[in-house]
Structure 1
Amino acid sequence: MHGPSAEPASATPSVTLLTEGTYPHSHGGVSVWCDQLVQGMPDVDFHVIAVTGTGREALAWELPGHVKAVDTFPLWGPPPAGRAPRGPRLRRFLATYEQFLLSLLDPAREALFAPAFYRLADHAADGTLFAALRGEAAARLLARLWNRPHLATAAARPTLHDALAATDLLEHALRPLAAPAPAEGITHAVSGGLATLPGLIAHHRHGTPFLLTEHGIYLRERYLSFRAEPYRWPVKAVMLGLFRLLAEEGYRNAALVTPGNRYNRRWEEHGGTPPERIRTVYNGVDPAAFPPAGPEPDRPTLSWAGRVDPIKGLETLIRAFALVQKEIPDARLRLFGGTPRGGEGYRTACEGLAAELGVADAVTFEGRVDDIRDAYAAGNIVMLSSISEGFPFTLIEAMSCGRATVSTDVGGVREAVGDSGLVVPPRDPEAMAKAALRLLREPELRAKMGESARLRVIEQFTLRQTIDGFRDIYHDLSGLRRPVPVDVIADRPAPVMALAAGGAG
């Protein structure tokens, strides 16, 4: 951990939850998990720092009284207030920014990341960072740097237009640095990535214990999502470099990392987390809140629940269903869940695929359902087709409801299912269809797996176990505040390797 306690542990520690695109402004698995955590600890004061999209998102959850405040920091809203630095202050910024960019672009200079990152946070605190990143000098600095012959990006001949795009993305991505760095209690990031920024700064400046929980692996999901982004490779290299080094910084500085499954643990160890600072805590559900679903539908039905998003692999599910319907013409597929802002094109593409395969009449997008248990009861089998997951709530909820499942082998899915469901490779419609057909044709096996699934949840994945696990962790970490070395908070001289505005590179 971080050495001896500098102050006694509080009987009721305060916790700052750090979120990105989830609680309390949207629904979904991570948001459900946050709500369960908060509702399960009424004796703990919570504060939420939420990284959002535009800043116009309404609260999606009713917050209990012990959530004392919610501060939002939108990535794509109006730019943060501040004035661009000039003269010596601009030169100091460019010196820091040069080191930061080199750490992202040059594997031999990655050690520059942490000191440059924390100095950029100082610029955010004094109100100069974001205006500086929107200035011409920042883009021209990147345009010179990534064309240096020894860097891999030079081979792609990145343009000034590319530099403007990358600089704009960085300016937006770093906006959470404007959040206040909590000096008291514990910070708890419920994902990797941009949500961790306030926690890392609080740890750096004040020694505030930083806890990191990853449901999915943020870095892996960025690798997957950037494949479809329209930017040229040098722009992607900058952003993926940021996400990779930020992940390593989070793993290195967390007092504890709490993966939800062994799959995540392997990623976290590979990313540099010392094994003794990793503690697996599984997601859980209340079996009483998810009782057996009751009679199956008369018509053979596959059901699915989640948000309509490319990472959920719905195109694989629709292709698999088309194969199922060839064997069982009366079968249908019901998809429950909302379409997030920006996901309308993906839903349209999925609807088009269903039409192209001739199954549009049997595939229905039901939208958000008031009671998620209705989604599980709607199917003879509950499907999960994701290409990336952590330890999915929809799966263990469906298991608690006694439904047989067919799931893709991603994240902690195999840990959750055990032998109580069928697991198939991701992006494999034929294997998924074969598994679904087997269960549809064998009602006794389907019933046996459903009963086994509910028993597995009761024995291993209850909400009470999850809440108790994190309550213990909060109390363990509440006494871990470390003294902050004087040189951390002292004003540091700027390095002399700056490329001054307009200077040669």
Structure 2
Amino acid sequence: MHATSGLPAARLAHVTLLTEGTYPHSAGGVSVWCDQLVRAMPDVDFRVVAVTATGGEPPAWDLPRNVTALDELPVWGATPAGREPRGRDRRALLDAWERLLTALLAEGGGDDELFGPALYELGGWAQAGTLSAGLRSEAAVRALARLWRRPGTDAAAARPSQYDALTGTDLLEHALRPLAAAPPTGVAHAVSGGLATLPGLLARHREGVPLLLTEHGVYQRERYLGHRTAPYRWPVKSLMLHFFRLLAREAYRHSALVTPGNRYNRRWEEHGGAAPDRVRTVYNGVDPAAFPVAGPEPEVPTLSWAGRIDPIKDLETLIRAFALVREEIPEARLRVFGGTPRGGEDYRARCEALARELGAGGAVSFEGRVDDIRTAYAAGQVVMLSSISEGFPFTLIEAMSCGRCTVSTDVGGVREAVGDTGLVVPPRDPAAMALAALALLRDPARRAALGEAARNRVIDQFTLRRTIESFRAIYAGLSAAGPLPSRSCAGVTWLPRLWHPSVPSPATAPAAEGTA
């Protein structure tokens, strides 16, 4: 929904919001957070730079008027335009590529000091429009195969194959595509770690644009969880995990400010290299008026769940726990609310098959997205959260604001959110989850007391107003400070044409055709 009033004449700040797989193409919790942030600050101009999968994802949100532009960066979309550089330019690009690979293959998880300079030099080639073509070359694949065979690399003992080299080079080429984005201006605000930080890091080193990093989950940890089941051999998994680890450390070390949503994330970020004096915890918040106390409980004992259908939400543990609940309360139901992201259809089918296999198929309903998420929270006596990774989950504090008691897994900032107003159980433990759900389903008085305490906790500590005030002050402070001194990278010879896209590169200008 667009704002209807005119924009104020005085602008507080200009912010480039950097997202990955979320706003404005997804309806999940991070997207809700972004939309609330943008709409609550009509005197801030936002440009959204969204890292997407294919570029064909339809927007899930109507952008307000203070979003001045939306740039999409498809990582797996059409092959970027541009051709491989030639002559000395080709050798310079491959030299930077080999330095990046050397950093990723260094013993002990990679070389931080070598990674940054190589990344930013490759960023220059991305801005010139030649990086993707250069990394799709046979020479780039040969470089990885050769470096992998060196004694002492972590993956050497696994004897990486030529196919592994092709796969690893391809994955890195796609991962580096966001470096080609038009540079962020004002304040670059990455709302996740990982690929969303690439344009912000490059702008910070190129123009001194301050980078603000807000991780809702721990991106690096989630990549480790995801790669457990990735269809690659160990050398490729190791390469990519080292890439994400070093990228996370680069972002933590060089952000002007890191704003985790909970103390759990803060510990990860400080361990990853963020200076404690540049880390400020800002909790997610909701508007209690927008999430009032839910209506009467359903007549049938019901557990409800809301979120996206995704392996990281671990619906399989939830379904196994529910099957145990039904052994004690045969009439119980489980209602699952939320959309299935593109590519997640097989996981949803697996969850549905598991429910049937456990004899609970008729009692588990997958109800898709709902226009009003409050419907999902009101649908059960108990709201469940079964994730194996979370930051500070919106579904939890929204359900708490609605006065529903909760059973949640002890991940991320969940315990900080719940306090003593709900039950917290270990992740991947169906028996513990079932016992907690049964205890609440059997005790209406306890449910009512916990639900009331949960809403009071949200009002006391986790309101949207506090969140917005914190980020308004942060934006104003970073904008007033102006550009930071850009950090030169020791040992790198910068080519001016790479840092000034308006000046044609000899590798791309018409006059360069036919040169050696």
Does the CA-based 8 Å contact 1:324-1:437 persist in structure 2?
yes
Q: Which amino acid aligns with 1:31?
A: S
Rate the CA distance shift 1:263–1:356 in 2: closer, same or farther, 3 A: same
Q: Which amino acid aligns with 1:191?
A: S
Match of 2:494 in 1: 491
Distance 1:186 1:477 in 2: 7
Match of 2:50 in 1: 50
CA offset digits 1:314-371 (Å, max 9, x no partner): 0000000000000000000000000000000000110111111110000000011111
Does the CA-based 8 Å contact 2:377-2:383 persist in structure 1?
yes
What aligned pairs does 1:182-261 form with structure 2 within 5 A after superposition?
Answer: 182=184, 184-261=185-262
CA offset digits 1:174-207 (Å, max 9, x no partner): 000110112x310000000000011001100000
TM score, norm. by length of structure 1: 0.94
The Cα shift of 1:395 comes to 0.3
The Cα shift of 1:476 comes to 1.1
Match of 2:65 in 1: 65
Q: Once structures 1 and 2 are overlaid, which stretch shifts more, 384-393 or 146-155?
A: 146-155
Distance 1:167 1:153 in 2: 15
What aligned pairs does 1:359-370 form with structure 2 within 5 A after superposition?
Answer: 359-370=360-371
Distance 2:303 2:112 in 1: 48
Aligned Cα root-mean-square deviation (Å)? 1.4
Match of 1:425 in 2: 426
Match of 2:119 in 1: 117
Distance 2:180 2:85 in 1: 16
Does the CA-based 8 Å contact 1:102-1:110 persist in structure 2?
no
Distance 2:485 2:193 in 1: 25
Distance 1:487 1:336 in 2: 49
Mark the runs of 5 or more structure 1 residues left unpaired by the alignment.
Answer: 1-9, 494-505
The Cα shift of 1:145 comes to 0.6
Rate the CA distance shift 1:487–1:326 in 2: closer, same or farther, 3 A: closer
Distance 2:240 2:324 in 1: 39
Distance 2:451 2:486 in 1: 53
Q: Which amino acid aligns with 2:28?
A: G
Rate the CA distance shift 1:58–1:276 in 2: closer, same or farther, 3 A: same
Q: Is the aligned partner of 1:286 residue 2:290? A: no
Higher relative contact order (CA 8 A, sep 6+): 1
Match of 2:270 in 1: 269
Q: Which amino acid aligns with 1:352?
A: A
Report SS of the residue matched to 2:366. Answer: strand
Match of 1:84 in 2: 84
Mark the runs of 5 or more structure 2 residues left unpaired by the alignment.
Answer: 1-9, 497-516
Report SS of the residue matched to 1:325. Answer: helix
Match of 2:160 in 1: 158
Report SS of the residue matched to 1:406. Answer: strand
CA offset digits 1:198-238 (Å, max 9, x no partner): 10011000000100000000000000000010100000111
Distance 1:132 1:121 in 2: 12
Distance 2:247 2:151 in 1: 26
Distance 1:44 1:354 in 2: 47
Rate the CA distance shift 1:109–1:417 in 2: closer, same or farther, 3 A: closer
Q: Once structures 1 and 2 are overlaid, which stretch shifts more, 105-114 or 207-216?
A: 105-114
Distance 1:236 1:176 in 2: 21
Match of 1:35 in 2: 35
The Cα shift of 1:59 comes to 1.2
Match of 2:443 in 1: 442
Q: Percent identity?
A: 70
Does the CA-based 8 Å contact 2:258-2:279 persist in structure 1?
yes
What aligned pairs does 1:311-350 form with structure 2 within 5 A after superposition?
Answer: 311-350=312-351
Distance 2:487 2:70 in 1: 30
The Cα shift of 1:19 comes to 0.2
Does the CA-based 8 Å contact 2:11-2:43 persist in structure 1?
no
The Cα shift of 1:490 comes to 6.6
The Cα shift of 1:110 comes to 3.7
TM score, norm. by length of structure 2: 0.92
The Cα shift of 1:126 comes to 1.3
Match of 1:176 in 2: 178
Match of 1:500 in 2: none
The Cα shift of 1:91 comes to 1.2
Does the CA-based 8 Å contact 1:11-1:475 persist in structure 2?
no
Match of 1:376 in 2: 377
Match of 1:6 in 2: none
Distance 1:306 1:485 in 2: 41
Q: Which amino acid aligns with 1:42?
A: P
The Cα shift of 1:491 comes to 2.6
Match of 2:97 in 1: 97
Match of 2:511 in 1: none
The Cα shift of 1:109 comes to 4.0
Distance 2:494 2:242 in 1: 27
Does the CA-based 8 Å contact 1:21-1:50 persist in structure 2?
yes
Number of aligned residues: 483
Match of 2:478 in 1: 477
Q: Which amino acid aligns with 2:57?
A: E
The Cα shift of 1:484 comes to 3.6
Query: Moved runs in structure 1, 4+ residues, more than 6 A?
Result: 485-490
Does the CA-based 8 Å contact 2:117-2:489 persist in structure 1?
no
Report SS of the residue matched to 1:14. Answer: strand
Match of 2:74 in 1: 74
